[in-house]
Amino acid sequence: MSFSMSALQQYPAPSQTTTAGPGEFDIIVMDPPWPNRSVRRSRQYQTTDGSAGPIEALKTSLGQHIGPSGIVACWITNKAAVRETALDLFAAWGLTLIEEWAWLKVTRNGDSMCSLDGTWRKPYEILLLGCRDAVVHKVSAQPDADISGTRRRVIAAVPDLHSRKPNLKELLERLFFGEGKSYRAVELFARNLTAGWWAWGDEVLKYNDTETWSRPCDE
């Protein structure tokens, strides 16, 4: 388990190898700081507009860190402009959109956190998955893919802390690599460490701090 507590622009270039070596990864999971007015007002975490900063750095530099058959899993907000920006990034990196997951946020009893057709708030977030070699991951063989070849899945999980996403390690391993197959993975804009993965971000140890999870005792 390794990590880099730094801005994306400070990450080292990958070695020049034909397979995933230092700096190249088979799985890249990221939750970029997309613009969000409500989050900016509450100052829960740093965001940026889509024209500069870490988003622009992703477009210009991340492609060299994606392995030959690499998969990128990118969380987006429900804004159409954010989705368009994410798909533009995929195109810049030479990725094909292969899957789209919806994380349905539920209570401990399994009920939706709010109405599915709510005007201002949705009980789900979207994860886009793209890869460079669709043949390797047998995308065309998926029986439930839509006309564009994109397979859609729904995962249900109880949210804990604000903006924190479910850990996808087990699902991604099982779906794309199978038991016992080695791979290299990194989470970008990470706020906690995942066993066996690289983590990279300005707040990479935030949720590994026990104080984040502790509650004051009642007096």
The answer to whether 164 and 127 have CB atoms below 8 angstroms apart is: no
List the one residue out of 35, 29, 31 whose CA is nearest residue 52: 35
State the pLDDT confidence band at 148, using cuts at 50, 70 and 90: low
Element (H, E) at 71: strand 66-76
Q: pTM for this one?
A: 0.78
Report which residue type is found at 143: P
pLDDT for res 211: 66
State the pLDDT confidence band at 144, using cuts at 50, 70 and 90: low
List the one residue out of 48, 50, 40, 55 whose CA is nearest residue 81: 50
pLDDT for res 38: 46
pLDDT for res 124: 86
State the pLDDT confidence band at 128, using cuts at 50, 70 and 90: very high
User: 98 pLDDT exceeds 50?
Assistant: yes
Query: Residues 51-79: what's their mean pLDDT?
Result: 85
CA distances for 42 relative to 18, 37, 47, 218, angstroms:
45, 9, 11, 26
What are the backbone angles phi and psi of residue 71, rounded to the nearest 5°?
-115, 135
Each residue's pLDDT tens digit, 35-47: 765 444 444 444 5
What is the C-alpha separation between 2 and 193, in angstroms, rounded? Answer: 8
Least confident span in 35-44, 93-102, 128-137: 35-44
Going from the N-terminus, what domains does the chain have, and what CATH number goes with each?
2-13+21-208 (3.40.50.150)
pLDDT for res 20: 47
Q: How much of the chain exceeds pLDDT 90, in percent?
A: 34
User: 91 pLDDT exceeds 60?
Assistant: yes
User: 200 pLDDT exceeds 90?
Assistant: no
SS3 category, 106: strand
Least confident span in 77-81, 83-87, 203-207, 215-219: 215-219
Query: Residues 117-142: what's their mean pLDDT?
Result: 75
pLDDT for res 35: 77
